[in-house]
Amino acid sequence: MFGFLRSYFSNDLAIDLGTANTLIYMRGKGVVLDEPSVVAIRIEGGPNAKKTIQAVGKEAKTMIGRNPKEISVIRPLKDGVIADFTVTEQMLKQFIKRVHESRLFSPSPRIIICVPSGSTQVERRAIRESALGAGASQVYLIEEPMAAAIGAGLPVSDATGSMVVDIGGGTTEVGVISLGGMVYANSVRVGGDKFDEAIISYISRNYGMQIGDNSAENIKKKIGSAFPGAEVREMEVSGINRAEGIPRKFTISSNEVLEALSEPLNQVVKAVKDALEKTPPELGADIAERGLVLTGGGALLADLDRLLTEETGLPVIVADDPLTCVARGSGIALEKMDKLGSIFANE
Amino acid sequence: MNGEAGNLNNLTVEVPEDDAAGAISGRVAAPATVGGILRQAREEQGLSTEAVAEVLRFSVRQIEHIENDDYQALPGATLVRGFIRGYAKFLRLDPHALIAQLDAAVPQNSSDVRPPSSIAGPVGVSGLGGGSVRMIAVALVVLAVCVFGLYLFVEADEQVLSQAQVQLEQVNKTALPAGNSQTSAESQSVASVNAETPPLLAPEADATVVALSEQADVEPVAISAPVVGLLLEFDDLSWVEARDANQAVVLVGEFPKGTRKVVEGKAPFTLWIGRASAVRVSNQGRVIDLKAFTREDVARLTVD
């Protein structure tokens, strides 16, 4: 009954609920939370086994691969959509509580939340319901390419074509935007996670070594690249030798990582080429002039812009602060949400 | 522009500034602008703008705009920043330093998100948006005003009622000796008081009427003879319309000061007085206080 009163005392939020990271933008304050989308749950023993949340976010991420059997560390999102509904809801609730200072009212904000452009109705409904369950008074959905384009500062409202490629943890979103709407949108389920998996399987295949998710991510961040560079960098990695069953150290070079990443990268390139093929010629001309814009954590992979330039023959630019583009874009949409209708997605 | 590359190979020699940017004046003085730094780095590596364009896939024209710091000619800040970042990376310069320098020189614009101008008005948000909060606030204010108005109205009514009761008491005093107790003290309005009292008053003296009119805070009117029907007396110019029971207009028009008009016809009469403060109304010799029926000096009332 007093939901509207509580929402009056709560700050509106924009949430980039990503596979890898969740970012929260608060109206008037900017990005206030950036945490990995990881939850650690302790399962108590006994007849009425109770589940309690042990940790959320950064703290929980350090527990990945290091947990005893009473604690399960869960990444509740997979491929950009919710894989575990209850845990997602709990995680969102924790995050929302964390960014709200007011203790007098339990937070009940209006929330803008991002959904992958290729997500199904069921997946969108799940995201909406989990936000409502986490205490939102109202939920608006915005498609990720639109949010990314706004966050990157592209002229989305103008009658010019802008192309944005948002490479997140679980999905790669390609969108062509003009006049405040999406002319073309596609999402492929390739992202940072697939890059990590590719590195793990490459090392397993070629070195007979087993490494963890966090190690793979470190390799990708330090020496990963998408295009052969002039200098070859190396990195020492430790893992378990599968033949001997003993932890060992070995060295891997950037060229090997490049080889490992070539398969998922080809899928990204294919998605971009598909989008260009389906773009109307007028907008295609704009994109050729202005280039396509890379956002998302994947844009930080070294020389990815170079790879896309070579493959498409178009200028490619990396947005400012690509990791927070989607959250900032949703935030800008949030600031003006009362005036904008067309940019929000339907279920 | 490409021609000067030859001169600059020998950088110890002072090169006269010959282009629009005028950024390069020699090796010792570092170029001041972002475009100048990029141009110098490119020329030091012996690259032409065409070679850069070949790799970055930007047009030669766009590269020249960047090197001349002519950002207005390029479409948007996002492109300028992304382009400079890519160009710097290609030339193996530190992109962060250049972007920081660019920030100081050119303010960063945020994405201009607005509803399409062809669509009139904002798009309504279903449920309780910010707009509806405003609506609720307005509704509350209107409600408060209404309640206050009602309170004033009721209070005014009560004054009339108490006046009517005073009158009734007096009437009773005079009427009781006649053994008539018809006047119930619970009369609701002046109009009904007027309706009930005349039969009582009729056999009595005029004095009661005079006393009553004094009670009603109106100048005492000397009534020489019993007045039958509805009497309007004008203290100043006023407009009046009166209709009888059949809604037929029996009296209409503007009447000057001093006019006395008797409305004849079948009761009840509907009266509409344009300047209530200037008109005194009495029915069957009983003065009617117009204040209770007056809004903004216009009185609307029905007289039985």
**Mean pLDDT computed over B222-248:** 76
Predicted confidence at residue B180, as pLDDT, reads: 46
Of the candidates B58, B80, B83, the one whose C-alpha atom is nearest the C-alpha of residue B71 is B80
For residue B253, pLDDT over 90 is answered with no
Q: Give A217 to chain B, closest Cα distance, Å.
A: 23
**Mean pLDDT computed over A36-61:** 88
How confident is the prediction for chain B on average, in pLDDT?
Answer: 70
Higher-confidence position of A206 and B228 = A206
**Chain B CB within 8 Å of residue A59 CB:** no
| Tens-digit pLDDT profile for residues A124-159 | 999 999 999 988 888 999 999 999 999 999 988 889
Higher-confidence position of B202 and B140 = B140
Predicted confidence at residue A4, as pLDDT, reads: 55
| Tens-digit pLDDT profile for residues A209-240 | 999 999 999 999 999 999 988 788 999 999 99
Predicted confidence at residue B170, as pLDDT, reads: 64
Residue A4 and residue B130: Cβ atoms within 8 Å? no
- Nearest-CB residue to B131 (from A289, A291, A338): A338
How confident is the prediction for chain A on average, in pLDDT?
Answer: 89
**Chain A CB within 8 Å of residue B77 CB:** yes
Higher-confidence position of B22 and A197 = A197
Predicted confidence at residue A5, as pLDDT, reads: 55
Higher-confidence position of A188 and B115 = A188
Could you tell me what percent of chain B has a pLDDT over 70?
Answer: 58
Q: Which residue of B has its CA nearest to A152?
A: B78
For residue B13, name the pLDDT band (cuts at 50, 70, 90): very low
Secondary structure, 3-state, chain B: CCCHHHHHCCCCCCCCCCCCCCCCCCCCCCCCCHHHHHHHHHHHCCCCHHHHHHHHCCCHHHHHHHHCCCHHHCCCHHHHHHHHHHHHHHCCCCHHHHHHHHHHHCCCCCCCCCCCCCCCCCCCCCCCCHHHHHHHHHHHHHHHHHHHHHHHHHHHHHHHHHHHHHHHHHHHHHHHHHCCCCCCCCCCCHHHHHHHHHHHHCCCCCHHHHHHHHHCCCCCCCCCCCCCCEEEEECCCEEEEEECCCCCEEEEEEECCCCEEEECCCCCEEEEECCHHHEEEEECCEEECHHHHEECCEEEEEEC
Of the candidates B215, B165, B170, B169, the one whose C-alpha atom is nearest the C-alpha of residue B186 is B165
For residue A343, name the pLDDT band (cuts at 50, 70, 90): low
Of A20-34, B71-85, B132-146, B233-247, which one has max mean pLDDT?
A20-34
Residue B133 and residue A154: Cβ atoms within 8 Å? no
- Decide if the complex's ipTM is over 0.85: no
Predicted confidence at residue B12, as pLDDT, reads: 40
* Poorest-pLDDT segment among A32-46, B59-73, B129-143: B129-143
Of the candidates B204, B203, B209, B212, the one whose C-alpha atom is nearest the C-alpha of residue B224 is B209
Residues of B within 8 A of A152 (CB-CB) are 78, 111
Q: Which residue of B has its CA nearest to A299?
A: B82
**Mean pLDDT computed over B166-189:** 52
Predicted confidence at residue B169, as pLDDT, reads: 61
For residue A310, name the pLDDT band (cuts at 50, 70, 90): very high
Residue A290 and residue B55: Cβ atoms within 8 Å? no
- Nearest-CB residue to B82 (from A156, A160, A317): A317
Residues of A within 8 A of B99 (CB-CB) are 320
**Mean pLDDT computed over A174-186:** 91
Predicted confidence at residue B110, as pLDDT, reads: 53
Q: Give A181 to chain B, closest Cα distance, Å.
A: 10
Residues of B within 8 A of A309 (CB-CB) are 55-57
**Chain B CB within 8 Å of residue A31 CB:** no
Residue A318 and residue B128: Cβ atoms within 8 Å? no
